[in-house]
Amino acid sequence: MRRAWMVVVALAGACTGGDTDSDTDTDTDPGEPIAWACDGSPTYVGDDGWPWVVEVEETVTLCGSFFEGRTLETEIAAKAQLQIAKGTYRLPADAEDVEVRLPVCLKLADGETRLASDPGRVTGRSAVYDDNVSVSASLRQPFAGGGELSARFYTGHTVGEPVLNLVIDGNGTDPWGDSGVAMSWCKEAGSEWCNGIDGTTFESCNPLSYQLQTHTLTFDGGELVLDVRMGASAAGTEPAAFVKAAGTIDGTAFVQQDYWKLIYRPAHHHFSRDFAVFFDAPIGGACGVRVLALDPWEGGQLPTLDLVECDLTSIEARTVTGHVWDRG
């Protein structure tokens, strides 16, 4: 089947839980699923006659991804998680602005949880190219408390065959593949763009199918290891998830895999990378550590590293003495 020329954010899956050991390894164990749940989320609304089936094999948690136009400080406030309840849901292949509701809920950086509220609207489209049929569905669905879910589902099949089911199973999506989904939270209903300042786009919290890239920094008083899973892109900046940080600072070891405490903001195509890691308990009076302008390429300029307050205000700069970039 011919591959669709579409640029989408990769499908998200279950997030990383805590590492069960106390060392500073970088295996990035996928861990346990996210602990919170969509209690009280409304049920699915749709039409049993629609031909296209979306299967969610287990409740899926998606994590809000970075946006190049934000800073580390604004990335903290933009963090969010989205859950889609386990189930089988139908979408239209050819319909204009019809009623639908998927059982989803949203968790924001301040801990607020918003449930799906009234049904939203979906438009289904299909187009034939030679012997192939491309099918897509675009959804806008409100949340109680404000904002809405913006989602685009797509798949393909051969002429004369039924529409293929779209399975949301927690794996990253091939950007050149024939099926997938892109999902964002729009702060304001009706927003045209929901993947940057006006909202948050969702990515796999720990996309194990993506390449694991590890940055190991040595600095005055310790070592810091940063794990990023990097996907591919047909165009634009590649999808990625900052999944783990570990190290020692003045003899105190730490490991962090909590999505809410791992902050990442790259430049275009990840040519420069900013990180912040918040500790579970203060280390030497610091709430976390920040790395700015990390140049991943061999021979690049070494980044700056600071111990920081919880608002990322610098407490103390440390001199970075070395950097090793391992691309798995």
State pLDDT tens for residues 127-162: 998 888 888 999 999 999 999 999 999 988 888 887
Over the chain, what is the mean pLDDT? 85
**% residues pLDDT > 90 (the chain):** 63
pLDDT tens for residues 232-249? 988 889 999 999 999 999
Residues 166-180: pLDDT tens digits? 888 767 667 777 788
Decide if 323 contacts 305 (C-beta within 8 A): no
Which pLDDT band, with edges at 50, 70 and 90, does 26 fall under? very low
* Beta-sheet strand order (sheet of 314-318): 262-266, 273-283, 286-294, 304-308, 314-318
Whether the pLDDT of residue 21 is over 70: the answer is: no
Does pLDDT of 19 surpass 80?
no
Q: Is-contact 120 137, C-beta < 8 A? A: no
Mean pLDDT, residues 97-126: 93
Distance, CA of 73 to CA of 147 (rounded, Å): 22
Could you tell me which residues are beta bridge partners of residue 228? Answer: 213, 242
Backbone angles phi, psi at 69, to 5 degrees: -80, -5
- Does residue 184 carry a pLDDT above 90? yes
What pLDDT shows up at residue 4? 28
What is the pTM (predicted TM-score) of this model?
0.86
CA distance 319 to 220: 5
pLDDT at 35: 55
Q: Lowest mean pLDDT: which of 6-20, 37-51, 160-174? A: 6-20
Task: Return d(Cα 212, Cα 7) in angstroms, integer.
Answer: 22
Query: Is the predicted pLDDT of residue 79 greater than 90, yes or no?
Result: yes
pLDDT tens track for 268-304? 999 999 999 999 999 999 999 999 999 998 778 999 9
Give the other-Cβ count within 10 Å of 312's Cβ: 17
